[in-house]
């Protein structure tokens, strides 16, 4: 099999740039007046070395700003320590998710433990007035939302213990607060659940849950009263992480006999009030969770095991493009508080990933629509957008040959009357023109409204957020 037709999506961006007005086909709604800011890899190469996994490339920010039907654009590398050291040394300096940094003996003697990466390539959040680019080390990078220049680390004023976190914190709109967790890799591992006011830099520890082996968890669920940590049996060998020299994720072992556990943690006091057990499965992304009657409903994108992680190394992505696993099964788990076993149903057959909802309106509540990417053929890479109606259990597709769309971000229309009144913003690659583009769909009708042409390609990215022009609130901020 030759090189994948979407290989350009894993090639370095040719340049950083700023454009005041990009060419548009179609019409952008006049009410769209904010900015979509995204993060993802900008390059997979440093000197003669290459990162090995999609999640590893050095982070680059992308910004699309909308005003009076026009679209401005900028892209710029994040000048993290990982980036600066790589530039200075001409080689990979910090280990990433699936790549190890090779150090000289002198460097290893001076610095025997692997250093955490600050390569903030996964998601964007807003804390107070600070725009943050984040990854799974608790070292968010503050950037200027207009110039995209790197400013500083976001400095926490607390001592909540932990070295690993999620790039997908949850926001509680009633409390105006963030909920998230850290994994503390002390000799006795624990999960530190915390809360942080929206404008603060102080995390309040609300609960600490001891565990024998920490699980790899990319996201978590949240209802009105509970945090749900879904502990997949992809479990950390702590000693291996410290001494093996293997890439970060390869120190986790898939132990299906352990099953998957849902830890239900009360937000008010940090107590684990329920543990739901299920057959082993793996997921990156929770979609939504809510309470109804005597149960907690948890929607997520499931895989039978953790082999999706192996599938997203660059070698299989580029050279075995008929055997890729890049989307999973949309499942609804039911956690009944008086029953140990969690049960599930498949919401639709259509594979999905990078799921988004109308977050401000629907998170922690009953809802109807999930937007995501999908695959037109089993074993192929992401090549379509999917809108799932979880109430009527059906899916609509946007697909076009040679196009590889990314995470669909929902932006609600002003005073939207219905859950899906608004637009979808998705950055895709057109392998025919060899350029990226921004696709704008009517989220309700699922029709294409406009397409914005970029003058070059961008590597495939992960997550982004839409911000109002005055970004002093989380009013349009989705996960
Ligand atoms: Fe994610």
Q: What is the pLDDT of residues 268-313, one digit of tens each?
A: 999 999 999 999 999 999 999 999 999 999 999 999 999 999 999 9
Ligand 1 midpoint to CA 121 (Å): 10
Q: How far apart are CA 273 and CA 48, in angstroms?
A: 52
Instruction: Give yes or no for a contact between 360 and 339, defined as CB atoms under 8 angstroms apart.
Output: no
Ligand 1 midpoint to CA 293 (Å): 30
Ligand 1 midpoint to CA 219 (Å): 7
Residue 369: closest CA among 395, 353, 388: 388
Ligand 1 midpoint to CA 108 (Å): 32
Q: Give Cβ neighbours of residue 76 (< 8 Å, ≥ 6 apart).
A: 16, 60, 61, 147, 148, 149
Q: How far apart are CA 295 and CA 300, in angstroms?
A: 16
Beta strands in 201-342 (DSSP E): 204-210, 221-222, 226-231, 234-236, 252-254, 260-266, 272-278, 282-292, 295-303, 328-336
Phi/psi of residue 75, nearest 5 degrees: -140, 140
Ligand 1 midpoint to CA 110 (Å): 34
Q: How far apart are CA 429 and CA 231, in angstroms?
A: 34
Beta strands in 167-271 (DSSP E): 170-172, 177-184, 190-197, 204-210, 221-222, 226-231, 234-236, 252-254, 260-266
Ligand 1 midpoint to CA 277 (Å): 24
Ligand 1 midpoint to CA 168 (Å): 7
**Per-residue pLDDT at 472:** 39
Confidence of residue 473 (pLDDT cuts 50, 70, 90): very low
Ligand 1 midpoint to CA 347 (Å): 20
Ligand 1 midpoint to CA 45 (Å): 22
Confidence of residue 76 (pLDDT cuts 50, 70, 90): very high
Q: What is the pLDDT of residues 431-471, one digit of tens each?
A: 999 999 999 999 999 999 999 999 999 999 999 999 998 54
Confidence of residue 347 (pLDDT cuts 50, 70, 90): very high
DSSP 329: E
Ligand 1 midpoint to CA 123 (Å): 7
Ligand 1 midpoint to CA 252 (Å): 18
Ligand 1 midpoint to CA 282 (Å): 13
**Per-residue pLDDT at 312:** 97
Ligand 1 midpoint to CA 217 (Å): 10
> Who has greater pLDDT, 331 or 112?
331
Tell the burial category of 111 from Cβ atoms under 10 Å away from its Cβ (0-12, 13-18, 19+).
exposed
Q: How far apart are CA 183 and CA 137, in angstroms?
A: 10
Ligand 1 midpoint to CA 30 (Å): 30
Ligand 1 midpoint to CA 355 (Å): 9
Ligand 1 midpoint to CA 54 (Å): 12
**Per-residue pLDDT at 474:** 36
Give the residue-averaged pLDDT of 164-187: 96
Beta strands in 320-412 (DSSP E): 328-336, 343-356, 369-374, 384-389, 394-399, 403-405, 409-412
Ligand 1 midpoint to CA 390 (Å): 21
Ligand 1 midpoint to CA 300 (Å): 12
Ligand 1 midpoint to CA 186 (Å): 25
Ligand 1 midpoint to CA 312 (Å): 13
**Per-residue pLDDT at 116:** 87
pLDDT at 478 over 70: no
Ligand 1 midpoint to CA 194 (Å): 19
Give the residue-averaged pLDDT of 57-79: 97
Query: Domain spans of the chain?
Result: 18-31+159-478
Confidence of residue 195 (pLDDT cuts 50, 70, 90): very high
pLDDT at 426 over 70: yes
Task: Provide the whole-model pTM.
Answer: 0.96
Strand partners, 242: none
Ligand 1 midpoint to CA 137 (Å): 14
Ligand 1 midpoint to CA 166 (Å): 9
DSSP 382: P
Ligand 1 midpoint to CA 136 (Å): 10
Ligand 1 midpoint to CA 59 (Å): 14
Ligand 1 midpoint to CA 317 (Å): 18
**Per-residue pLDDT at 1:** 59
Q: How far apart are CA 187 and CA 148, in angstroms?
A: 39
Q: How far apart are CA 208 and CA 29, in angstroms?
A: 47
> Who has greater pLDDT, 103 or 374?
374
Ligand 1 midpoint to CA 64 (Å): 20
Q: What is the pLDDT of residues 3-50, one digit of tens each?
A: 899 999 999 998 999 999 999 999 999 999 999 999 999 999 999 999
Give the residue-averaged pLDDT of 56-67: 97
CATH class of 18-31+159-478: mainly beta
**Per-residue pLDDT at 469:** 86
Phi/psi of residue 155, nearest 5 degrees: -95, 120
Q: What is the pLDDT of residues 105-145, one digit of tens each?
A: 777 677 766 678 999 999 999 999 999 999 999 999 999 99
Ligand 1 midpoint to CA 409 (Å): 13
Confidence of residue 251 (pLDDT cuts 50, 70, 90): very high
């Amino acid at each position: 099999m030759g090189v994948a037709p979407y290989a350009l999506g894993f090639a370095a961006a040719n340049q950083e740039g700023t454009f005041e007005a990009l060419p548009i086909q179609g019409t952008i709604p006049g009410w769209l007046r904010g900015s979509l800011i995204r993060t993802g890899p900008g390059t997979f190469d440093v000197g003669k070395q290459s990162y090995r996994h999609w999640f590893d490339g050095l982070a680059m920010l992308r910004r699309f700003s909308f005003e009076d039907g026009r679209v401005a654009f900028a892209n710029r590398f994040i000048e993290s320590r990982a980036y600066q050291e790589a530039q200075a040394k001409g080689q990979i300096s910090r280990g990433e998710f699936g790549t190890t940094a090779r150090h000289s003996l002198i460097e290893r003697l001076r610095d025997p433990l692997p250093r955490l990466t600050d390569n903030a390539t996964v998601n964007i959040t807003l804390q107070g007035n600070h725009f943050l680019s984040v990854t799974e080390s608790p070292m968010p990078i503050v950037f200027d939302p207009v110039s995209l220049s790197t400013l500083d680390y976001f400095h926490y004023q607390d001592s909540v213990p932990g070295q690993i976190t999620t790039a997908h914190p949850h926001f509680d709109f009633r409390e105006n607060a963030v909920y998230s967790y850290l994994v503390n890799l002390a000799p006795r591992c624990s999960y530190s659940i915390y809360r942080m006011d929206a404008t603060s830099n102080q995390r309040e520890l609300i609960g600490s849950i001891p565990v024998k082996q920490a699980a790899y968890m990319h996201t978590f669920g949240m209802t009105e009263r509970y945090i749900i940590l879904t502990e997949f049996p992809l479990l950390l060998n702590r000693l291996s992480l410290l001494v093996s020299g293997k890439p970060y994720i390869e120190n986790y072992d898939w132990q299906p006999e352990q099953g998957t556990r849902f830890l239900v943690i009360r937000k008010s006091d940090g107590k684990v009030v329920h543990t739901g057990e299920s057959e082993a499965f793996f997921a990156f992304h929770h979609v939504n969770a809510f309470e109804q009657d005597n149960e907690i409903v948890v929607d997520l994108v499931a895989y039978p095991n953790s082999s999706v992680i192996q599938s997203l190394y660059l070698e299989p992505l580029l050279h075995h493009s008929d055997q890729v696993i890049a989307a999973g099964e949309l499942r609804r788990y039911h956690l009944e508080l008086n029953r140990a076993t969690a049960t599930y149903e498949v919401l639709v057959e259509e594979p999905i990933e990078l799921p988004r909802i109308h977050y401000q309106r629907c998170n922690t509540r009953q809802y109807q629509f999930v937007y995501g990417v999908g695959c037109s053929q089993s074993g192929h890479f992401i090549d379509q957008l999917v809108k799932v109606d979880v109430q009527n259990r059906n899916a609509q597709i946007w697909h076009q040959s040679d196009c590889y769309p990314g995470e669909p971000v929902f932006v609600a229309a002003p005073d939207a009357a219905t859950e899906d009144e608004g637009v979808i913003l998705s950055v895709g690659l057109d392998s025919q023109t060899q350029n990226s583009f921004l696709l704008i769909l009517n989220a309700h009708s699922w029709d294409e409204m406009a397409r914005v042409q970029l003058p070059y390609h961008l590597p495939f990215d992960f997550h982004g957020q839409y911000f109002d022009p005055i970004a002093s609130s989380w009013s349009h901020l989705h996960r």
